[in-house]
Each structure stands twice: as C-alpha cells, then as structure tokens.
Amino acid sequence: MQLDGITRLALSVAIAAALASGAAFAQDNTGKNTQDPANSLEEVVVTGSASAGGVKKIDASYSITTASQQQILDAAPSSTADLLKIVPGVWAEASGGSTGANIYVRGFPGTGDAPYVTMELDGSPLYPSATLSFLENSTLFRIDDTVQRVEVLRGGPSPIFSNGQPGITVNFIQKTGMETPEGEGSGRLTAGTDSFYRVDGHYGGQVGENWYLSVGGFYRRGDGVHDTQYPANDGGQVSLNLTRAFDGGTFSLYGRRLDDRNAFFTAMPLVAKGGDEVGRFPGFDAGSDTLYGNDLRHLNFQVSPGATPGTISRDVADGRGTDISLFGSTLDLRRDGWSFSNRAQFVNGDTPTVALFTGTNPTSLGAYINSAVASANGNAAIVGAGGQATGGTATYANGGQAITDLDRQVIEAGMWVVDKHIRSFTDEARFGVELFPGNTLTVGTYFASYSAEDHWYLGNNMLMTVENNARLIDVALDNGAIVSQRGFSGAPFFALNADWDGRNTAAFVSDEWETGAWRFDAGVRFERKTVDGTIENASNRDLDNNPLTVFNNNASVANGTYRYVDYEDDDVSWTAGANYTINDHASMFARVNSGVLFPSFDDLRDGNTQTQTVDQYELGFKAEDRLYSLYLTAFANRFDGVPYQQFDQNGNNIVSIGGAKAHGIEFEAALRPVDNLELAVTGNWTDAEYKDYGQYTGNRVQRQPKFQYRFTPRYTIPTGWGDVKLFGTYTHVGDRVGDLANAQPLPSYYTIDVGAEANVGEHWNFRFTGTNITNQIGLTEGNARIQGSSVTGNVFLGRAIFARSYMFSAAYYF
C-alpha cells in the first residue's frame, strides 16, 4: 500500500503551495502561534446542537470537551485515538499503533474496537457503523494542520442526530480559510526517535470574491518505537476545502486522500512478579521490542486446496493500513426566523490488515517438539502414513541452520490476513424555524448507504523465536511429519468471504426553548436499518491431502456454497435536557436519553440480531473565571442486549448476549493562581459491572479503569524575542481486568510526559515533547484470546504501552 504517484504529487503540490504562499502574505500576518483560552464558556460548539449555528458552552445542557489545534499539539497524540486521552470518561488503548485502537466510554461494555465511538468530519460520520471487525472509525482519519479544532460530545443529545451514536461523537472541524481571509499558512518539519520524520503544510485564505481555500497535508515515515526492521508507519494525507460565502450562509466542498500503512501490535510475553508488579520477559522488552522483522515480512499463505496448495502473498509491512478517498459538502443557510443545513459525505477505499496475533504463552523448543510428537502419535492418519514419531529436529526457516539449543524460548502466533473494502454515503438535512421568541423547532432526516467486502484468512500460525525481530522455525519429526514449513505451523482457522450492504434512514425532531436563565431541549428520533449480506460457507480440510504435512491439515476453506442475511428493524431514541445559567460564569444542567445501537454486519454474520439499548442520566456543573475552570458531570447508564464476540486461540467464535450498568463522575478543572501558570487536571471515576450475563453477572466490565486522571502544569515565560512554554503531564491509570471472568488483572500504572515550546519572533515555532520518559511498563490488555487466567508459571501475554520516545519540530507560520 505504498503512496501512489498521483498521491505523492498532490501532497507535494499542497505543501509546496502552502510554503510558497508565505512570500505574498507574510507582511500581513504575525504568524504567532497563540493558544485559545482553554474550556471557555463563551466558546460556541456545534456538535450536539440542533442549530447549525451552535450553542455556547455555558448554555449547552450536555458534556463536551473541545481542543484547539494548539491544544492538540500540546497533547502530542501518537494517533487519532490517542488524542482521546484528554477526554474524561474515555479509555483509549492506543498501544496497538496508529490504527486499530480499542476505545471504551463511560463503562459501556465491549470486547474491543470502538462500537460506541463515532468519528465525524464537519458533522458527517466517517463510516455509518462505528465499528466493523478489524475497522473502527479512528483508523479512517489522521490529524494534521488542516484541523481547526475537535469537539467530543459524551452522551447528551447524540442519540438523536447524525448516525445516532449513544456513546461519544468526535467531530473534527476543518479549517476553511474564512477564519484567516487575509491568508495564513504553515510549514512544519518533525523528527523523532526511531528514525521518525514528518512534514506538514497548510495554507488558508481568500482566493476570490467570497471564495475561500484551505489546502494542506502531511507525509511521515518512521521505524516506530517497536523496531520492525522496516518502516512501521509510512504514508500521508492531502486535503482541500473550498468555501463560498454569501448573504445568510456558506457552502463548502472538501476532499481528503489518505494513504497510510501502519504496524499493528498485540500482546507480547511478560513476567508476573506477584502482586501488581509486572516485569520484562528475559531477552524481550514488550514496550520496545517486537516479533516483527524481515524474517516475517514477505510471506506466502496456503489458503486453497490442491496437490500444490494455492497461496496468496502479502507484505507484512502493509500492516493495518488505510487507503481511502473522502469527499464531502456542508451547506448552512440562515434567514430571519428559519435555518437550513445539510451535511453529505462519500467514502471509498481499502482498510487491510496483515498483523501478528498472539494467543499462547512461550515455551521451550524442546517442550514444543515433545508436544508435537505426542500430538502426531495421537493422530491415526499421521501414524498410518509415517509410523510413530520418537523425536524431531528444528532449523531456521531462512538460512536452514540447525537449532540445537532446546531450551530456547519459542512462541506460536497467527499472521492474520484481512482484506476489507468499504464504501459509504451519508446525508443529514435539518430545517429549523423559530416558533416564537426563544423557541426553535428543528426537523431533520438522516440517510446512510454503506457496504463492506471482506476476505479473511485468520489463523496462519507461525513458530518463531522469542526475541526482538523474531526468526521463523521449521520443525520436522523423525517419522516424516512436517510440523512447520517456512515457519508456518498452521493454516487459516477461519476463512471468510462476505459481501454486505446496509441502509439506515432516520427522521428526528428537536425543540429548544430559552426562557430567562433556563434553556430546555427535547428530541426524538425514529430509525430503520436494513441489511443484505452474502456469506460463503467454509469447510475444514487438508489442503494437500497429505497427513504428514501437519501445518496444513486442518484449514478453513471457502467451499462455494452461500448463506444469505436479510435483516430489517427499527427503533426509537429520545432525549431531554435542561440548562440553568447561574450567572455569567457558571451554569448547571441535567440530561436523560435513551439510545440504541443496531447490530453490525459482524453481529448479523454470527446470528445476533439483538438491538442494544442504553439509558443514560447526567447531571453537570460548569464554571469559569480568570482564576479557575471547573467542569463536573455525574452519570449513570444501563445496557440491555449487549453482544459479546471473541475468537479464542483455537479459532472458536464465542458469542453471548447480556447487559451492564455503570455510574461515575467526570471532571475537567484548571487553576491559574498567577499570571502565566496553569494547573490542569482531567479524569474520571467509573464503577461498571455486567448484569444478566450468566456466570459473569456482577463482574467488573473488562479493560476499563475505575479511576484515571491526567495532571498537566503549564508555565509560560515571556521574553523579548517571543515566549517559552514549559509543560508536562502525569497520568495515572487505575487497575483493570482483562477478561469477562475477571481472572486477568491489569495493574495500575503511571506515565510522565514532558514538553517545551518556543515562539521566536513573529513566524517561528519550535516544539519538543517526550512521552513515557520514565519508560514504564503499562498494560492495556491481557491475553484477548483467552477467558480466565492466562498465566503459565509466571509468564503471560499482555499488550504494553510504548516505551519512551521524543519528538522535535520546527514550524514556520506566515
């Protein structure tokens, strides 16, 4: 998935145009990178508001976190999902890399991905279904300098608008050029540890009478904190926005081209030292090492039967990437007493996965061979073809050298291959009319047509050494049985060929009424979802009809017969809220909503047609003045019809349905005791447990911490040539559990990040950031392929946060 020539050219032109434009506009712009006031109550937010014009934070009867471009840079997110660490009530596991994050919200139950998180661009969902297997919305978007700000709506009125997401809606709002009509742009070069470099460019401004342009993009390349021996991240994005302003409204057309490939990391070996202490596995650091390497890069997978089995070839460097084109439009009209808005978006492209998924703990090579001997001797077909085995030998798959150290640690892991092509079109239209002074009625429609084509080959176990950049191992027994060949010790355990088409249509009505210090709103949404799916059945068979080739004896193969899914359902969501303005600096609100989440394509494939329902209750307080800012939200929610789906290490697809409940409190606060100093803290306490979940009823909801917070002090030093800002963040993540059975404890941990920024003169900005500078081992998940304890001896599998890394950037603003 290399950047094609057209994409490279477009990206180069965009960045060059941004840099070249500086000569014409530098004399009219200071170029200073100033920071917007954090959490300003006067800030207008558009996400969650029925009116396209938005609502002031002080008047909003819901919880919403906002961040300007400057605040996004300060957070130094490693990925789009990692940015959500600034949002209270959200637990984002970005330890898998730039894509494929698991994101959890307010104790909402889930096994992975991000079913309760919708990513939007200018109010349009990037994909109507928040999650498909091997695809969650954050994978489809990269943050760059074309983003003006982000708004993250938690609960609130979100079940009514757009795609009706009951969890959180993350709305990235693009620059249009209208905010800097005289012309403004930037060029940024970033370098970091692990051979990382990135170039960003942006220009925005007026290009004609009532016409405005914003263009920009980025390209980046780096080996990654986990050194894969090839670029772990390689790709870029180019975007363009063209806006026409006229009396009473604006119309925008925009497009984005994203072509990026990213390594995806799963659980690696660790040592349980007792209590809450976790140690590094001998010879392997889960925070910086990886099994990936050149030995595992270019692979041929046996997937179809024959005297010589058919194969597919993959470059593992493609990882879990994204290759999509996106086009959209926004229209906003306002006249006396009425308004109309429309948001439309089309997305088309590929989101493949070629990644290593672990499942079994390491063992010694001798123990592995002994186990292979016992298994072969217990198989009548193998014994009939070759007789009893008494031992075996091992060699490196690449090079052929014999391995005589039988105490050497080895591991089996599956190289899963997923080809996924997606396409979607969404359109939301709203019409608002003022019924009487202070009261506005909004009616709207939402339509989504979307599809997914899936070709999966899950499994493909490989035998390898446990070391950084592992080496593949071939094992043969003395009765002629070949246990692993070219490193492969297994074939696909789950082959899938599926084609899906979905359509959602919805109508909603919302009323907002402002009277005195009170602001009331209520809304209801009716939605219908239909799905047509075609799934090719699969059978298990020996690919070459030779029992002695053990590695391909039990392969899942699409067999040419099909089953069909025809699904249709509808449901109603509703919300009601009230906000009371205490004074110019404080307000409080209450909110109740009831939302739904229809089954996804993958749910329907597994026979789950249950629609999830979630009821949420919120109480909030907002206050701010020069000295402090304080945002508090207490919440409670109840779930029914929650599906559980998991592939275990043996290829079994575990499916169940239950419920959950949660309550907690979220906080965002800042204290400014003296000029130039701010002490900020964000976090949440959440108590969530399963209900009506059989043997797991009463257990803690997996993966989410009860308590987490981020403390960030910032101090700005004015100078004669500019200013210097010093900042850092101490993050505490409480203990969690890694499975439904609550048998995989995930200990609490902390990290320390640091940063410094200097604005030099009118145009230059320099920035330095360091993340996890104390090199902590923090686990985000245990062994996702197992229910129950995964420890053998004192060894287990877990996914750790990235080891320490540093970035330095230089930017020129014009």
Map out the domains of the chain as residue ranges.
5-268+315-355+418-813
Check residue 645 and give its pLDDT: 58
For residues 393-399, average pLDDT: 97
Lowest mean pLDDT among 515-524, 592-601, 652-661, 799-808: 652-661
Return the minimum-mean-pLDDT range out of 13-17, 69-73, 605-609: 13-17
Q: Strand order of the sheet with strand 795-800?
A: 277-280, 268-274, 795-800, 779-781
Q: Which residues pair with 557 in a beta bridge?
A: 539
Residues 225, 367: Cα–Cα separation, whole Å: 32
Write down the residue that tokens 């940015």 correspond to. Answer: 83
Q: Decide: residue 275, CB within 10 A, 0-12 exposed, 13-18 middle, 19+ buried.
A: exposed
User: For the chain, what is the mean pLDDT?
Assistant: 92
* The predicted structure's pLDDT at residue 31: 36
pLDDT-derived band at 465 (thresholds 50, 70, 90) equals very high
Mean pLDDT of 92-96: 93
Triad 19, 260, 147: Cα angle to 5°: 50
Q: What per-residue confidence (pLDDT) applies to 722?
A: 92
Structure tokens that stand for 58 in this block: 């002080």
Handedness of CA 384, 462, 369, 484 (dihedral sign): positive
- Residue 9: the pLDDT is 34
pLDDT at 15: 37
Query: Looking at residue 29, what is its pLDDT?
Result: 32
The whole-number pLDDT of residue 523 equals 97
Q: What is the DSSP letter of 404?
A: -
CB 459 within 8 A of CB 492: yes
Beta bridge partners of residue 563, listed in sequence order: 535
pLDDT at 33 over 50: no
- Per-residue model confidence as pLDDT tens digits over 625-660: 999 999 999 999 999 887 765 555 565 656 667 889
Q: Could you tell me which residues are beta bridge partners of residue 169?
A: 118, 153
Q: Which two tokens stand for residue 495?
A: 């082959």
| Mean pLDDT, residues 399-428 taken together | 97
Give the pLDDT score at 788: 81
Between residues 11 and 89, the one the model is more confident about:
89
- Residue 610 is classified by DSSP as P
At 217 the pLDDT is: 97
What confidence score (pLDDT) does residue 21 get? 34
Top-confidence residue, 9 or 88: 88
| pLDDT-based confidence at residue 51 (cuts at 50, 70, 90) | confident
- Which pLDDT score is estimated for 12? 40
Strands (E), 584-627: 586-597, 612-624
pLDDT of 466 higher than 80:
yes
Confidence at residue 650, expressed as pLDDT on a 0 to 100 scale: 60
Q: Which long-range contacts (CB under 8 A, 24 or more apart) does 689-693 make?
A: 689/660, 689/661, 689/662, 690/109, 690/658, 690/659, 690/660, 690/740, 691/658, 691/659, 691/660, 691/661, 692/640, 692/658, 692/659, 693/644, 693/656, 693/658, 693/659, 693/660, 693/740
Instruction: Read off the pTM.
Output: 0.92
Q: How far apart are CA 77 and CA 219, in angstroms?
A: 16
The percent of residues in the chain predicted with pLDDT above 90, rounded, is 86
Of 558, 550, 568, the closest CA to residue 498 belongs to 558
pLDDT of residue 644: 65
Residue located via tokens 């950031």:
769
pLDDT in tens, 95-139: 999 999 999 999 999 878 999 999 999 999 999 999 999 999 999
| pLDDT over 70 at 402, yes or no | yes
Structure confidence at residue 38 (pLDDT): 43
Query: Which residue type, as a one-letter code, is found at position 217?
Result: G
Question: Which pLDDT belongs to residue 86?
Answer: 96
Query: What is the rounded average pLDDT of the residues 46-57?
Result: 90
Which distant-in-sequence residues (6+ apart) come within 8 Å of 409 by Cβ?
269, 282, 283, 362, 363, 364, 365, 465, 466
pLDDT at 693: 82
pLDDT tens digits for 675-721? 999 999 999 999 999 998 888 899 999 999 999 999 999 999 999 99
Domain at 5-268+315-355+418-813: CATH architecture = Beta Barrel (2.40)
The residue ranking higher by pLDDT, 41 or 461, is 461
Q: How far apart are CA 735 and CA 720, in angstroms?
A: 47
Query: How much is the pLDDT for 24?
Result: 31
Task: Give CA separation, 586 vs 226, 512, 583, in Å.
Answer: 46, 20, 5
Q: Do residues 200 and 19 touch, judged by C-beta distance below 8 A?
A: no
* Residue corresponding to tokens 């949002």: 87
Lowest mean pLDDT among 94-98, 365-369, 474-478, 542-546: 94-98
Interval 236-242 mean pLDDT: 98
pLDDT exceeds cutoff 80 at 23: no
